[in-house]
Structure 1
């Protein structure tokens, strides 16, 4: 571990790091700086995503198979490097990882401007996605350290709010810029926002990172004990990268809440992503000539997610079963209902079911991030989020392919009904069995001591 506490409690700019947590999250200057940087980077990414799609499909006119390879190339780094990136985040200073990733992302984004063809574009996108794989666990691990437990749920809600707003506003603003200028301008905007993001994080580059800070504040006996045992072992005999990587997997295996969450999350995510790219297929069959339906559905889903996150931001916490299971229940109900719409169905109902899906998505994502933050010791946060990223990336590649096969064999409407009902039932299971899935389990400390 290269991150050590600062006995003098001095921050980079010479100020004193408070020994007690701020009274409110907004008074936490370190988190707010991270939050603003995250917001800028997220909005820039959505500008970029839309521009690349337009450039490849309309300007270059490439084969549909090449277009299909774009999300695959962006997911493969997560599959291969997610858990390794998490281990790296737990070994070295997290802010410096984030700054390095931002700098390399700027360079790769500018390189995309000069890509002459898709054969050059795909490896550049894969390399840039690798920077995101390294950045996410470092950001989550640092958040776990600088935010007190009583503010973790609010921090997850704020980050979720920005993520959902960027999905709505990013493509809209990107479309305006595309209309007035060109895809290249959108790509430049992303490079600039990422550069500014790095500049905002720059004053934190030598921030003292203390893995004991959050656990000492939260009073979680299991978390505090786990962190203490981990730090004691590393003070006497520093572990190798491989040993820490294996230890991360063992921690997840022996933590009932984390294991249940990852398995439960991947099951639901598999069902959702099977139809995530197939809404256009559904509307093309049921309402041909109504291309705007997809836009209305996406906008209403985004609005639903933003609305529920604003509501959650006012709450101190939420029950894991109600958040995760309830989120899947609402998403499944919305997907199944879309499978039963007909050619005469009014636009009003499309908007209603879009809101239902969005509320469920926002509820699930905020609860997921909050649970992983709260139930993971600071010393393991990077590895847990890195492993979660690896598993999600596998699902991201496999699920759309399975969904496409199902829709081709059964038809769009029946496939939406089946997948919606399956997701709904997963949500019911999460609510009914929440005391089993997320009950207090045996501390993983014993295993870590072996």
Structure 2
């Protein structure tokens, strides 16, 4: 029986355990995002108080992610994931206990969110670096596609839906308890995975200097690797150009089309379309082989795929905005699946944790800047010109990136499109 490409990673027993733990972790995160909001409201807080909790999480993430990459190249990645999920379990359990006993205060949530943000900074580099140790190269594209599909379905849809139902019937404290249980199950799954050692690099001297040296080596590798540096540079500009308009100006563009009374529901529909597009794009890429022109196609997907943003500021019908968001979500996720696979296949294993953390750091740094500027710029020149720039500028920059960093020549010199041999079930 012919097995679809997207399902082939599930032939590997260790991957089945890993993806089950990842699903539980994403579910818990989705529940946590909603539970925190309603817990702040129950404490009498509003947007300002919620912003303190979100800020704590963001600062913890930014502070930890680069060093998370260094640690991922020094410590067994499974061990890191167990530590991260254990920290999430403990944080959610403390929040649940304090909430259910009536002792929770806002500063407790800020501290817990900051600690969980730091834990998240260690998760992504460790997971990204662990995956190539679990799966053969030909399965990595499909595995990254599965992750890209699970994120909107589990973390952005299922988790929040369950959280809303629990809070409606019980309380945010019960939702926190569900988070703790979900993360504890994820710990259990990771614990039973087999131990996979890291490819340790020789290092001597003071531990702090050694870690800083490792971090510097990651930056040097990035700058001296043209395809990697060019893609990260383009991705940082892309995040800066599109995330602010989507996160800040999109609700107002929709309000101008449908009116204030229907704006909230229509905005939720647009975000759902973006998430569904991302899930579909990830699934389709997971079902295919990596194309021969993988760098060119990836960058063009990011660039041209965002072009529909240009019509949002001029659209007079809601369906146009929803369709545009679907296409943007589809192309962005499809390209991101290819990108994650390239890191895992072309970056040396001993360097992969650091490079993955640099990739994550780019998004973290430029996203808040984009959101901070989008509002004032939209007021100054109008929403329509901002969306026009967000849609069209990445297309031109994508072409320049491909040409300047000679990506067509590079991808032909390093082909990754070999057809895999038939694979038997692996235990």
Task: Tell me how far 1:234 sits from its aligned partner.
Answer: 6.1
Rounded Cα–Cα distance in structure 2 between residues aligned with 1:32 and 1:328: 34
Give the equivalent residue in structure 1 for 2:422.
Answer: none
Task: Tell me how far 1:55 sits from its aligned partner.
Answer: 2.6
Rounded Cα–Cα distance in structure 1 between residues aligned with 2:91 and 2:29: 13
Is the contact made by 1:141 and 1:378 (CA closer than 8 Å) also made in structure 2?
yes
Asked if 1:154 is matched to 2:142, the reply is yes
Task: Tell me how far 1:253 sits from its aligned partner.
Answer: 1.7
Is the contact made by 1:260 and 1:437 (CA closer than 8 Å) also made in structure 2?
no
Deviations 1:61-88 (A, max 9, x none): 4243333344332222232222211111
Give the equivalent residue in structure 2 for 1:9.
Answer: none
Asked if 1:243 is matched to 2:227, the reply is no
- 1:423 pairs with 394, 401, 406, which one? 394
Asked if 1:67 is matched to 2:67, the reply is no
Unaligned runs of 5+ in 2: 1-6, 415-427
Task: Tell me how far 1:440 sits from its aligned partner.
Answer: 6.1
Give the equivalent residue in structure 2 for 1:14.
Answer: none
Asked if 1:207 is matched to 2:180, the reply is no
Deviations 1:278-317 (A, max 9, x none): 2223223332211211121112112211112221111121
Bigger shift: residues 400-409 or 171-180: 171-180
Rounded Cα–Cα distance in structure 2 between residues aligned with 1:441 and 1:360: 23
Task: Tell me how far 1:430 sits from its aligned partner.
Answer: 4.9
Give the equivalent residue in structure 2 for 1:222.
Answer: none
Task: Tell me how far 1:129 sits from its aligned partner.
Answer: 0.9
Bigger shift: residues 244-253 or 85-94: 244-253
Report the secondary structure of 2:246's partner residue: coil
- 2:312 pairs with 322, 325, 338, which one? 338
Task: Tell me how far 1:102 sits from its aligned partner.
Answer: 1.0
Give the equivalent residue in structure 2 for 1:289.
Answer: 261
Map 1:275-286 → 2, pairs under 5 A: 275-278=245-248, 279-286=250-257
Give the equivalent residue in structure 1 for 2:118.
Answer: 130
| Matched positions, count | 394
Bigger shift: residues 273-282 or 81-90: 273-282
Say if 1:143 and 1:55 are closer, same or farther in 2 by CA, change over 3 A.
same
Rounded Cα–Cα distance in structure 2 between residues aligned with 1:141 and 1:281: 40
Task: Tell me how far 1:433 sits from its aligned partner.
Answer: 6.0
Asked if 1:78 is matched to 2:61, the reply is yes
- Please report the TM-score for the alignment, with normalisation by the length of structure 2: 0.84
Task: Tell me how far 1:171 sits from its aligned partner.
Answer: 2.4
Give the equivalent residue in structure 2 for 1:315.
Answer: 288
Map 1:406-417 → 2, pairs under 5 A: 406-417=377-388
Is the contact made by 1:270 and 1:395 (CA closer than 8 Å) also made in structure 2?
yes
Is the contact made by 1:161 and 1:306 (CA closer than 8 Å) also made in structure 2?
yes
Is the contact made by 1:41 and 1:197 (CA closer than 8 Å) also made in structure 2?
yes
Asked if 1:179 is matched to 2:168, the reply is yes
Say if 1:241 and 1:192 are closer, same or farther in 2 by CA, change over 3 A.
same
Give the equivalent residue in structure 2 for 1:223.
Answer: none
Bigger shift: residues 190-199 or 63-72: 63-72
Say if 1:434 and 1:157 are closer, same or farther in 2 by CA, change over 3 A.
farther
Rounded Cα–Cα distance in structure 1 between residues aligned with 2:375 and 2:338: 29
Map 1:31-430 → 2, pairs under 5 A: 31-56=15-40, 58-113=41-96, 114=98, 116-166=104-154, 167-204=156-193, 207-209=195-197, 211=199, 240-278=210-248, 279-287=250-258, 288-290=260-262, 291-318=264-291, 319-331=294-306, 333-342=307-316, 345=317, 347-430=318-401
Say if 1:442 and 1:327 are closer, same or farther in 2 by CA, change over 3 A.
closer
Say if 1:337 and 1:29 are closer, same or farther in 2 by CA, change over 3 A.
same
Give the equivalent residue in structure 2 for 1:13.
Answer: none
Rounded Cα–Cα distance in structure 2 between residues aligned with 1:379 and 1:100: 21
Bigger shift: residues 283-292 or 149-158: 283-292
Is the contact made by 1:101 and 1:135 (CA closer than 8 Å) also made in structure 2?
yes
Task: Tell me how far 1:127 sits from its aligned partner.
Answer: 0.8
Say if 1:27 and 1:185 are closer, same or farther in 2 by CA, change over 3 A.
same
Is the contact made by 2:75 and 2:198 (CA closer than 8 Å) also made in structure 1?
no
Task: Tell me how far 1:273 sits from its aligned partner.
Answer: 1.7
Is the contact made by 1:321 and 1:434 (CA closer than 8 Å) also made in structure 2?
no
Say if 1:320 and 1:29 are closer, same or farther in 2 by CA, change over 3 A.
same
Rounded Cα–Cα distance in structure 2 between residues aligned with 1:25 and 1:118: 43
Report the secondary structure of 2:245's partner residue: coil
Task: Tell me how far 1:132 sits from its aligned partner.
Answer: 0.9
CA RMSD of aligned residues (A): 2.7
Unaligned runs of 5+ in 1: 1-22, 212-229, 444-450
Rounded Cα–Cα distance in structure 2 between residues aligned with 1:55 and 1:423: 39
